[in-house]
Amino acid sequence: MGLSLQNLHKSVDGEIHLSGIDLTIESGSRTVVLGRTLSGKTSLLRIMAGLDRPTRGAILVDDKDVTGVSVRKRSIAMVYQQFINYPSFTIFDNIASPLKVAGMPRDQIKKRVMEVAKVLHLTGMLHRMPAELSGGQQQRTAIARALVKDAQLLLLDEPLVNLDYKLREELQTELQEIFRQRDAMVVYTTTEPGEALKFGGSIVVLDGGRVIQTGPTTQVYRNPANLKVAEVFSDPPINYLDCRVDANTLTLKSGLSIPMTGHLKGLTPGRYTLGVRSNNLSLGRRNKLDMELTARIKLAEINGSETFIHVDCFGSRLVVQEVGVRSARIGSETSVFVNPARFFVFTGSGDLVLSPDPFHQS
Amino acid sequence: MKKRTLGLIVYFILLMLPIYWMLNMSLRTNADILSVFSLYPRHFTFENYMKIFTDASWYSGYINSIIYVSLNTVISLATALPAAYAFSRYRFIGDGQMFFWLLTNRMAPAAVFLLPFFQLYSTVGLIDTHIAVALAHCLFNVPLAVWILEGFMSGVPKEIDETAYIDGYSFPRFFTTIFIPLIRSGVGVTAFFCFMFSWVELLFARTLTTTSAKPIAAIMTRTVSASGLDWGLLSAAGILTIVPGALVIWFVRNHMAKGFAMGRV
């Protein structure tokens, strides 16, 4: 059992939503689709589900073409970003509905529903109506309905995005456990790099309706194929520094030169773009190899227990991620420290040349 | 606050006065009505009501009306439900124009359609049948029903339909067990509008019937004769005509506002 998409195109009213998608999803695998809003994640999922027909291309399940097959005849389950339940059914009937349609005997339905409800902590509210539940409980009902029927393909379209932070974290962990226990293909979309990393499995990075990289999630995180992937797969987006390599020195736009040691050794002369994730920038020296950049503070944004400090460094906008709630004086001069061992190196056109050694201790 | 209460009281007195006056007259004899001015019936009598309930030519009017009104309500809902679903869920060529064109049917005065209907029904032998009136009223009720139901249906997210298909529901099963219960109040309000329009409509109902399907509104005109008007009887018939409407309004009172806004609230 495997799903493969061949040269899929989808356009609606002349607007291209997906183009040239070639993907293979192995049976029993977990795939996360990462992309910004409007990158085509939902369109891709809807085509996989069979809710929409691709403009061109084919969908194969076990090497059988199912492109035009109606949703009812496919073995899929789907959870939407919005909380979608049948408002006139109780929670029990909501979860039981796919089984009832399939004609399962009553006592068996009850057993299955109770099992799933237990996993998703819905046991106490089975007799209530969806409108009487909180958002998290409603979404759990939708997930329960998707899990109850043992579909071959389980699609989740940003299922946790409308939940509050606490609940999201909780469900993220719970879902990992639930997915691990099934052998269905799970496809999960998200805009958040952190969620994608938690999900693990393999990843499909989408941008502007195209697949820009696929592979095991952690590997893609460590080796983004180009600047676009690095941007999508970093939160906040990866920082850029333009530089020039002559003979044996690497010079930043600010005039600062960096010794070419470690993974930077052996770069051929030319122009490059250095990429560095915000968590590798800091306002204090963390390592004796750290180099110091002078910058001006533009903005400090407190996000939960972290502070994002936006600084201007010789015309490049950098975002420094600092743990804890920090206050920073806007407009003041500061030093930003970065270990050159953490630099990604991209060519001028944005393709990855070098990535930091993941096992190198900074 | 005081002023408002006072204003409302005055308003309701003005509103209810004609109805009260009709009730007053229906409980008096003609001689009494014509001789003295009285705010309440002095010689209380149910004679007028008794006549309506015992004389077949009177009560059959109510039965006829109820029959074609119910028929019309059922036909209107049965056609408008699928039509409204199509308008709310699918995009097809000319859908917008067609949706608007439906409403234009209500823009022409009924009299315009009277002659064609009469001619057509005479040819196919439908004159003086309940179904004739019920079908004629569809001309006005189906467009209205489609508009109201479309509004209610568009308030239901499309994802619910999709979830049902994913769960394996067939379309008819989804439509009857999931979708219609979701727009219950819309269906109720639509039925109310169809019922009320058909119940009070006189022109078609009178022209397309002669004896066996004659509606109550037409029979009421019989109270006018050479010897004058039968005031008491007419009033009693009027009161009885209000009753079914009032009952239906009572049932849908909580959904009326949304219905008037065609479900778009």
ipTM of the prediction? 0.83
Chain A residues with CB under 8 Å of B165 CB are: 51, 70-72
**What count of CB pairs under 8 Å joins A to B?**
51
Evaluate whether residue A232 is within a structural domain: no
3 state DSSP class of B98:
helix
Q: Examine the domain organization and report whether A166 and A261 are in the same domain.
A: no
For residues A245-267, average pLDDT:
83
Q: Examine the domain organization and report whether B40 and B139 are in the same domain.
A: no
Confidence of residue A361 (pLDDT cuts 50, 70, 90): very low
Which residue, of A168, A201, A224, is where some domain finishes?
A: A224
Measure the CA–CA gap between B203 and B190, rounded to whole angstroms: 22
The boundaries of the domain holding residue A9 are: 2-224
Measure the CA–CA gap between A187 and A1, rounded to whole angstroms: 15
Q: Examine the domain organization and report whether A250 and A338 are in the same domain.
A: yes
Q: Examine the domain organization and report whether B169 and B38 are in the same domain.
A: no
Evaluate whether residue A186 is within a structural domain: yes
Q: Examine the domain organization and report whether B98 and B228 are in the same domain.
A: yes
Q: Examine the domain organization and report whether A185 and A37 are in the same domain.
A: yes
The pLDDT of residue A69 is 86
A71 vs B: CB within 8 A: yes
- B146-161 pLDDT, tens per residue? 998 999 999 899 999 9
Q: Examine the domain organization and report whether B234 and B115 are in the same domain.
A: yes
The pLDDT of residue A216 is 94
Evaluate whether residue A360 is within a structural domain: no
Confidence of residue A1 (pLDDT cuts 50, 70, 90): low
The pLDDT of residue A291 is 87
The pLDDT of residue A171 is 85
| Burial of A190: CB neighbours in 10 Å, binned 0-12, 13-18, 19+ | buried
Furthest CA-CA distance within chain A: 77
A147 vs B: CB within 8 A: no
CA-based nearest distance A43→chain B, Å: 14
Q: Examine the domain organization and report whether A22 and A163 are in the same domain.
A: yes
Evaluate whether residue A98 is within a structural domain: yes
- B116: cis peptide before it, omega within 30°? no
The pLDDT of residue B264 is 65
Candidate from A172-181, A184-193, B78-87, B187-196 with smallest mean pLDDT: A172-181
Chain A residues with CB under 8 Å of B182 CB are: 86-88
What is the residue-averaged pLDDT of chain A? 89
Strands A76-79 and A153-157: parallel
Q: Examine the domain organization and report whether A159 and A289 are in the same domain.
A: no
Residue A70: Cβ within 10 Å count: 10
Q: Examine the domain organization and report whether B27 and B155 are in the same domain.
A: no
Q: Examine the domain organization and report whether B130 and B65 are in the same domain.
A: yes
pTM equals 0.82
Q: Examine the domain organization and report whether B38 and B145 are in the same domain.
A: no
Q: Examine the domain organization and report whether A294 and A342 are in the same domain.
A: yes
A97 vs B: CB within 8 A: yes
A86 vs B: CB within 8 A: yes
The pLDDT of residue A362 is 43
Nearest one of A187, A94, A107, A189 to A148, comparing CA atoms: A94
Mutate to test the interface with B, among A12, A45, A71 (most CBs of B within 10 A): A71
* Closest chain A residue to the Cα of B174, Cα to Cα: A101
* Closest chain A residue to the Cα of B183, Cα to Cα: A88
Residue A191: Cβ within 10 Å count: 17
The amino acid occupying position A115 is E
Q: Examine the domain organization and report whether B88 and B66 are in the same domain.
A: yes
Measure the CA–CA gap between B145 and B192, rounded to whole angstroms: 10
Chain B residues with CB under 8 Å of A78 CB are: 162-163, 166
Q: Answer for the pair A159, A95: CB distance below 8 angstroms, yes or no.
A: no
Q: Examine the domain organization and report whether B31 and B155 are in the same domain.
A: no
Q: Examine the domain organization and report whether A39 and A149 are in the same domain.
A: yes
A76 vs B: CB within 8 A: yes
Ranges of residues in chain B whose predicted pLDDT is under 50: none
Supply the CATH number for residue A154's domain.
3.40.50.300
Supply the CATH number for residue B105's domain.
1.10.3720.10
When CB atoms are compared, the residue of A77, A82, A87 closest to B166 is A77
The pLDDT of residue B262 is 67
Q: How many domains does chain B fold into? A: 2
Q: Examine the domain organization and report whether B14 and B128 are in the same domain.
A: no
B1 vs A: CB within 8 A: no
Yes or no, beta carbons of A82 and B170 under 8 Å apart: no
Q: With 90 as the cut, is the pLDDT of residue A169 above it?
A: no
CA-based nearest distance A88→chain B, Å: 6
For residues A124-141, average pLDDT:
92
The boundaries of the domain holding residue B32 are: 1-45
* Closest chain A residue to the Cα of B165, Cα to Cα: A72
Nearest one of A252, A248, A249 to A239, comparing CA atoms: A252
Strands A56-61 and A64-65: antiparallel
Evaluate whether residue A234 is within a structural domain: no
For residues A240-261, average pLDDT:
84
Q: Examine the domain organization and report whether A280 and A198 are in the same domain.
A: no
Mutate to test the interface with A, among B153, B166, B176, B179 (most CBs of A within 10 A): B166
Phi, psi of B216 (to 5 degrees): -60, -35
Evaluate whether residue A114 is within a structural domain: yes
More confident residue, A168 or A217: A217
Measure the CA–CA gap between B52 and B208, rounded to whole angstroms: 23
Q: How many domains does chain A fold into? A: 2
Q: Answer for the pair B102, B79: CB distance below 8 angstroms, yes or no.
A: no
B187 vs A: CB within 8 A: no
Candidate from A28-42, A75-89, A133-147, A245-259 with smallest mean pLDDT: A245-259
Strands (E), A196-238: 202-207, 210-216
Evaluate whether residue A362 is within a structural domain: no
- A15-44 pLDDT, tens per residue? 899 999 999 998 888 999 999 988 999 999
Q: Examine the domain organization and report whether B27 and B71 are in the same domain.
A: no
For the ranges A175-179, A247-251, A254-258, B153-157, the maximum mean pLDDT occurs at B153-157
Take residue A223 and report the two structure tokens written for it.
Answer: 């080796």
Q: Examine the domain organization and report whether A63 and A198 are in the same domain.
A: yes
CA-based nearest distance B154→chain A, Å: 15
Q: Examine the domain organization and report whether B71 and B164 are in the same domain.
A: yes
Handedness of CA A347, A349, A351, A352 (dihedral sign): positive
Mutate to test the interface with B, among A42, A43, A88 (most CBs of B within 10 A): A88
Q: Examine the domain organization and report whether A92 and A193 are in the same domain.
A: yes
- B176-227 pLDDT, tens per residue? 999 999 998 889 889 988 999 999 888 899 899 988 888 888 888 887 877 7
CB within 8 Å of chain A, chain B residues 147-166: 157, 159-160, 162-166
3 state DSSP class of A207:
strand
Which residue, of B45, B64, B79, is where some domain finishes?
A: B45
CA-based nearest distance A89→chain B, Å: 8
Which residue, of A193, A224, A255, is where some domain finishes?
A: A224
Evaluate whether residue B265 is within a structural domain: no
Supply the CATH number for residue A325's domain.
2.40.50.140
B114 vs A: CB within 8 A: no
B49 vs A: CB within 8 A: no
